[in-house]
A and B are shown apart, each in its own frame.
Chain A
Amino acid sequence: RKEVEQDPGPFNVPEGATVAFNCTYSNSASQSFFWYRQDCRKEPKLLMSVYSSGNEDGRFTAQLNRASQYISLLIRDSKLSDSATYLCVGGSGGYQKVTFGIGTKLQVIP
């Protein structure tokens, strides 16, 4: 089993829709989690950190469920510019290395 698993998609949603991605992790000792956004042929860019209490930034909300070992990303009122691949990341908290999921591709259509 992979340490961090994501549905690769693609998720095709109409503009204005709400879409949610889940990401499961296998290491129960994981302490820190992040969502990154990666555009085609570009580097990943930090979207948001995921805290135990959840995290909201505008149209984006991230949640952590330690009991079920998954994190989620909710995007409300999808924009065409949200089209990208979203990478889920889990870390041990030991400042050593983190593990990236394969990414979930989102395509927002007009």
Chain B
Amino acid sequence: DGGITQSPKYLFRKEGQNVTLSCEQNLNHDAMYWYRQDPGQGLRLIYYSQIVNDFQKGDIAEGYSVSREKKESFPLTVTSAQKNPTAFYLCASSPGLAGGSETQYFGPGTRLLVL
């Protein structure tokens, strides 16, 4: 089955700790995205990547970092600099330029909680 997987489903972070959220896709999509969703708010873009080894900051990149070493993988690190990390994190992918579509498909999400 083709799709997007995210792990873990739930993640607990201690103060001052960096944590990494995994996102993998086997859809052969060029573009990948990370969003954050808070209760009562829409999705906010953290980072996006149109192609391997390239990524761009979204609207709320401070306190986060990403890498795109492989087409299939786009991990997100929540650093200790992110002061309010508790949220629902969603990874998405789209065919991108090569696929001629920007329709995005989402993984099941990771809920991050601060202890």
Q: Find the B residue at minimum CB distance from A94.
A: B102
Which A residues touch B40, using CB under 8 A? 8, 102
Contact A46 B105 (CB under 8 A): yes
Interface residues of A (CB under 8 A from B): 4, 8, 32, 34, 41-46, 49, 87, 91, 93, 95-98, 100-103
Instruction: For the complex, give the distance between the alpha carbons of A69 and B56 in Å.
Output: 28
Flag B91-115 by CB within 8 Å of A: 1 or 0 each. 0001011000011111111000000
Q: State whether A42 and B108 are in contact (beta carbons under 8 Å apart), knowing that A97-B33, A100-B43, A102-B41 are contacts in the complex.
A: yes
Please name 11 further chain A to chain B contacts, defined as beta carbons within 8 Å, in addition to the given A46-B103, A95-B96, A100-B42, sorted by A numbering. A32-B102, A34-B103, A42-B109, A49-B103, A87-B42, A93-B102, A95-B50, A96-B48, A96-B56, A97-B45, A102-B41
Which A residues touch B31, using CB under 8 A? 95
Q: Find the B residue at minimum CB distance from A103.
A: B42
Instruction: For the complex, give the distance between the alpha carbons of A96 and B97 in Å.
Output: 9
Interface set, chain B 35-67, CB cutoff 8 A to A = 35, 40-43, 45, 48, 50, 56, 58
Chosen A-B contacts, 21 in total, with CB atoms closer than 8 Å, are A4-B42, A8-B40, A43-B90, A43-B106, A43-B109, A44-B90, A46-B103, A87-B43, A91-B102, A93-B102, A95-B96, A96-B48, A96-B50, A96-B56, A98-B102, A98-B104, A100-B43, A101-B42, A102-B40, A102-B41, A103-B42
